[in-house]
Every structure is written in C-alpha cells, then in structure tokens.
C-alpha cells in the first residue's frame, strides 16, 4: 500500500508536467473532466487536484482498452491477423471517409 500512496503523491506533485507531456490537449482534458477552465489551471499550477479529479483526468488520458487483459488483447490481435489473411479488410480511403462522417455526425449531435 505504501508504494501506491507514494505513486499517488508523485503523480500529484508532477501533474503539470504529466499533462504537458500528454498527447492530449489541455482543453480536451478540461472538457472531458468537466472541471471549469480557471479552476483546472489553478489546481494544475498549485498541484492541488482532489483524488477524484485525478481519477477523472486519468480516465480521459488512459487508452480506450485499459480494461482489457493481456489475453484479451492477444486474442483481438489474433482475430485481426485472421481478418487480414482472409481479406476481411476495408480500404483506407473508405475507412477515413466513414470516420469523417462519424465525426461530423458527432459534432452535429452536440449542437
């Protein structure tokens, strides 16, 4: 338990650098966590996020598949290889067009 607490303290003390090094924009993290922008920046500067706020930030920054076990990831990769071998693929341009369509739809749904 000591190691976990020490890790928590380390994260709390370095949260500003962790956020700056993140591939995510701060504005995206702010939007997804629901913390008001001025409050977020003040807490980041003072390194005073609550444990609940740090958890919500971590959930935004974690990969989508964070709950998958190693075995589940390996099984998913195996299925992907089988799909490729059996020609069950989508041309990149088609994939890109579908993602753009989804993004536009998502933006319209939020409006």
Q: Which pLDDT value is given to residue 32?
A: 92
Mean pLDDT by 10 residues, the chain (111 residues): 89 91 91 95 94 92 66 85 89 87 80 64
- Same domain, yes or no: 24 and 75: no
- Same domain, yes or no: 55 and 75: no
- Same domain, yes or no: 50 and 78: no
- Same domain, yes or no: 49 and 99: no
Q: Which pLDDT value is given to residue 108?
A: 80
- Same domain, yes or no: 2 and 53: yes
Q: Which pLDDT value is given to residue 63?
A: 60
Q: What is the number of structural domains in the chain? A: 2
CB atoms inside a 10 Å sphere around CB 40: 20
Residue located via tokens 């059996």: 86
pTM of the predicted model over 0.85: no
> What is the rounded CA–CA span in Å between residue 96 and residue 22?
25
Provide the domain limits for residue 104: 70-109
Q: Among positive and negative, which fits the CA dihedral 7, 13, 19, 23?
A: negative
- Same domain, yes or no: 44 and 3: yes
Q: Which pLDDT value is given to residue 43?
A: 94
């Amino acid at each position: 338990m000591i190691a976990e607490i020490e890790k928590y303290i380390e994260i709390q003390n370095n949260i500003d650098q962790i956020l700056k090094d993140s591939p995510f924009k701060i504005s995206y993290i702010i939007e997804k966590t629901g913390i008001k922008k001025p409050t977020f920046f003040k807490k980041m500067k003072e390194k005073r996020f609550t444990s609940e706020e740090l958890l919500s930030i971590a959930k935004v920054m974690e990969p989508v598949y964070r709950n998958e076990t190693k075995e589940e990831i390996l099984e998913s990769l195996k299925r992907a290889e089988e799909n490729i071998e059996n020609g069950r693929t989508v041309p990149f341009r088609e994939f890109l067009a579908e993602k753009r369509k989804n993004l536009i739809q998502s933006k319209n749904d939020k409006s």
